[in-house]
Amino acid sequence: MLKSVLIANRGEIAVRVARTAKRLGLRTIAVYSQADAQALHVRSCDEAHFVGPAPAAQSYLVIEKLIDAAKAAGAESIHPGYGFLSENAGFAEACRDAGIVFIGPPPDAIRAMGLKDRAKALMEKAGVPVVPGYHGELQEPKFLKQKAYEIGYPVLIKAVAGGGGKGMRRVDRHADFDAALDAAQREAQAAFGDARVLIEKYVSAPRHIEMQIFADTHGNAIHLGERDCSLQRRHQKVIEEAPAPGMSADLRAIMGAAAVKAARAAGYVGAGTIEFIADGAGGLKESGFWFMEMNTRLQVEHPVTEAVTGLDLVEWQFRIAAGGKLPLKQDQVLLSGHAVEARLYAEDPERGFLPSTGKLIALRFPADGSLRVDSGVEEGDAVTPFYDPMIAKLIVHDETREAALDRLAAALERTVVAGPRSNAGFLAALARAQAFRAGEFDTGFIDEHLAELGAVRQGLDRAAAARGAEELLKRESERLAPQPREASSPWDATDAFQLLGERRLTLPIMVDGEAVAAQAVYTANGRVVTVDGVASAADAVVVAAEDAVYVLRHGRQTKITLRDLSIDETAESGAGGLVRAPMHGKVLGLLVEKGTTVARGQRVAIIEAMKMEHTLHAPIDGVVAEIAVAKDAQVAEGAKVLVIEPKKEELG
């Protein structure tokens, strides 16, 4: 067995790899950027080495810095985790050249499967079914548009390099192809440094099913069953499960054999995933699945496979990298029960799932011994704008799918996240969605059910606002409470008592940035707080911070603060035409100039956050009166980007 490992990653996966490495007796070495100096993965390892500024391109993605850190620490091996450099053949080669064991496949296998066009050509040669499409080298826009027309809409434009939904666009109409291609290429270039794309036929009822494979250096290769990752948003997985609903033993054997054939064709070693797209119309069938791509690394969703097999996949990675044989043969792999994983993100489902950053004022999970939580942060840590906004993964395992989904929904409903907004309530609604439970779903399920899943604007939660106002009044009463005296005075009372009837108090508050008035009525029976006649919620969790109160109700966060009446927080010149940054990010492009006439809904700017593009639109018809930012500038959430003034009526 290896003696030491440098984990060339951060967050949840770095913590998870360190856990197994320590159990196996390896010395664990972390790397960290300026933003991660106090991060959980740093605290979880035996030692840590600084690798640069906060942006990943200047730290976690700089191969030379990682190799230097490994040499300085005397690391025998490097585990790349997932994301970052985990599928970078150059990194694997750099490790080999430095005499350091790379916990992953050989560089040639990464290179063979890293580019989707070459991978598909290799799979076709090996006899693995692939999705119809254009996988060639020619990238001229008119040619690609013609190929899309020949394939037949809808089609998918997909980045040749990388994954995770970046550089991917679905196109339903020929007229929309040019804009979609431009956006996909720009995003692919930013994320992977490679703007090339391929065009594929879009399967109408697609299920995303992947097979976990392992291969060693002794010629052995097996699969560990499948995972269903069909619940996606913007091609990013949201909930994963094993086994796949509707999967028969015969189909599992056929799909598994195809996955092993794909791994052998690539000369693969270590842990990998063969991703298939399956036609879910009428149920899964032997003739209805096609190779999409191979992920030459451990997957985010690997815990569900660990749950149903009882295996530690990271341990297998270490043992194979050390030259060992696969611990099991194919007929020894047994699946038990059902496992489901949900990805808890710092994002706002009501605002298009925009990333949400800031300090985690509270982060608490249910005290359920059978609930597995893989997290890279703890209460008091910060979610920064520099990296993926995942807070944690919640994994449950039970005898049946229904029981596992019940437990997952309950765990999400009892999870407390305050500070950044989270998708906890959305995930719970998804786990309880009847159509999903009935197996009536595909990769478009979330987009088709956003409203019923609560992923649309919900408006003011008055009961939560009242509960927050109640807490603010309590805090103010405690602050003003007199010091104990030998004799009390009726003038020291802070209960709003008066001689004639009820006393009413209006409390001006801000609720998620909206000016609201709460009413407090003091009676002989105590104080009652309402907002617009709605009483304070009894079913809420209250988290108090220095400058605010966070009320969590039904998985939704409401932030309440006292309103300073000396200023008008809601009044701003040109507010109707004010375009603000919806999140902390980089101004990727300004699509208008000062003086440009724009129409409501027109694209005016593009902001990049967490390697994803977000387009800003004109809120009104008018003329661009002010541009407050420059291209490539970093902007904070809520910062002014530009102002549009209504177009003045021309005099006759």
Q: What is the pLDDT of residue 575?
A: 56
Stretch 172-177: mean pLDDT, rounded? 95
Angstrom distance (rounded) from CA 182 to CA 148? 14
Q: What is the pLDDT of residue 565?
A: 56
Helix axes 302-309, 313-321, angle to 10 degrees: 100
Cα 372 to chain centroid distance, Å, stands at 18
Q: What is the pLDDT of residue 568?
A: 44
| Percentage of the chain lying above the pLDDT 90 cut | 73
DSSP one-letter string for 16-70: HHHHHHHHTT-EEEEEEEGGGTT-HHHHHSSEEEEEESSSGGGTTT-HHHHHHHH
Query: How far is the CA of 340 from the CAs of 35, 143, 303, 409, in angstroms?
Result: 32, 42, 9, 10
Angstrom distance (rounded) from CA 432 to CA 405? 7
Please tell me what DSSP assigns to residue 539: S
* Residue 525: Cβ within 10 Å count: 6
Confidence of residue 489 (pLDDT cuts 50, 70, 90): very low
Stretch 214-228: mean pLDDT, rounded? 98
The pTM is what?
A: 0.82
Highest averaged pLDDT of the listed ranges 67-76, 509-518, 557-566: 67-76
Please tell me what DSSP assigns to residue 98: T
492 forms beta bridges with none
Stretch 22-31: mean pLDDT, rounded? 98
Look-up: residue for tokens 């209960």? 495
State which fold the 340-455 domain adopts: D-amino Acid Aminotransferase; Chain A, domain 1 (3.30.470)
Chain region(s) in the chain for CATH 3.40.50.20: 4-103
* Residue 144: Cβ within 10 Å count: 22
Residues annotated catalytic, as ranges: 297
**Is residue 118 helix, strand or coil?**
helix
Angstrom distance (rounded) from CA 575 to CA 577? 5
Report yes or no: 250 and 267 within 8 Å, Cβ to Cβ: no
Q: What is the pLDDT of residue 564?
A: 65
Please tell me what DSSP assigns to residue 454: T
Chain region(s) in the chain for CATH 3.30.470.20: 105-131+207-336, 340-455
Report yes or no: 28 and 45 within 8 Å, Cβ to Cβ: yes
Here the contacts of 45-53 (C-beta below 8 Å, separation 24 or greater) are 45/7, 45/14, 45/18, 47/73, 49/6, 49/73
Chain region(s) in the chain for CATH 2.40.50.100: 575-645
The answer on pLDDT for 574 being more than 70 is no
Omega before 366 within 30 of 0, i.e. cis: no
Report yes or no: 605 and 590 within 8 Å, Cβ to Cβ: yes
Report yes or no: 560 and 469 within 8 Å, Cβ to Cβ: yes
- Please give the structure tokens belonging to residue 328: 């099991």
Closest to 374 (Cα-Cα) out of 31, 13, 41, 5: 13
Backbone angles phi, psi at 615, to 5 degrees: -90, 135
**Radius of gyration of the chain measured on its C-alpha atoms:** 27
Stretch 297-310: mean pLDDT, rounded? 97
Give the pLDDT confidence of 525-559 residue by residue, as tens digits. 888 999 999 999 999 999 999 889 999 998 899 99
Angstrom distance (rounded) from CA 334 to CA 162? 32
Angstrom distance (rounded) from CA 194 to CA 182? 13
Closest to 371 (Cα-Cα) out of 422, 332, 407, 423: 407
- Please give the structure tokens belonging to residue 174: 């020929």
The answer on pLDDT for 257 being more than 60 is yes
State which fold the 105-131+207-336 domain adopts: D-amino Acid Aminotransferase; Chain A, domain 1 (3.30.470)
Comparing 487 with 519, which gets the higher pLDDT? 519
Report which residue type is found at 71.
Answer: K
Q: What is the pLDDT of residue 304?
A: 98
The answer on pLDDT for 493 being more than 90 is no
Confidence of residue 569 (pLDDT cuts 50, 70, 90): very low
Q: Is 406 exposed, middle or buried (0-12, 13-18, 19+ CB in 10 A)?
A: middle
Omega before 154 within 30 of 0, i.e. cis: yes
Q: What is the pLDDT of residue 649?
A: 58
Q: Which of 87-91, 141-145, 522-526, 620-624 has the lowest mean pLDDT?
A: 522-526
Closest to 94 (Cα-Cα) out of 72, 62, 116: 62
Q: What is the pLDDT of residue 492?
A: 47
Angstrom distance (rounded) from CA 316 to CA 327? 8
Pairing of strands 155-159, 101-102: unpaired
Report which residue type is found at 304.
Answer: V
Please measure the distance between the N-terminal and C-terminal CA atoms of the chain and give it in whole angstroms: 87
Q: What is the pLDDT of residue 513?
A: 82
Give the pLDDT confidence of 393-436 residue by residue, as tens digits. 999 999 999 999 999 999 999 999 999 999 999 999 999 999 99
Give the pLDDT confidence of 364-392 residue by residue, as tens digits. 999 888 899 999 999 999 999 899 999 99
CA angle 514, 518, 521 (to 5 degrees): 180
State which fold the 575-645 domain adopts: OB fold (Dihydrolipoamide Acetyltransferase, E2P) (2.40.50)
**CATH class of the domain comprising 132-201:** alpha beta
Backbone angles phi, psi at 118, to 5 degrees: -70, -35
Angstrom distance (rounded) from CA 391 to CA 81? 17
- Please give the structure tokens belonging to residue 280: 């879910």
Q: What is the pLDDT of residue 652?
A: 41
Give the pLDDT confidence of 314-332 residue by residue, as tens digits. 999 999 999 999 999 999 9
Angstrom distance (rounded) from CA 632 to CA 28? 37
The answer on pLDDT for 611 being more than 70 is no
Confidence of residue 24 (pLDDT cuts 50, 70, 90): very high
Walk across the sheet containing 578-580 and list its strands: 578-580, 640-645, 622-627, 597-598
CATH architecture, domain defined by 4-103: 3-Layer(aba) Sandwich (3.40)
Stretch 158-171: mean pLDDT, rounded? 85
Report yes or no: 362 and 417 within 8 Å, Cβ to Cβ: yes
505 forms beta bridges with 520
Q: What is the pLDDT of residue 567?
A: 46
CA angle 106, 112, 117 (to 5 degrees): 160
- Please give the structure tokens belonging to residue 176: 């929309």
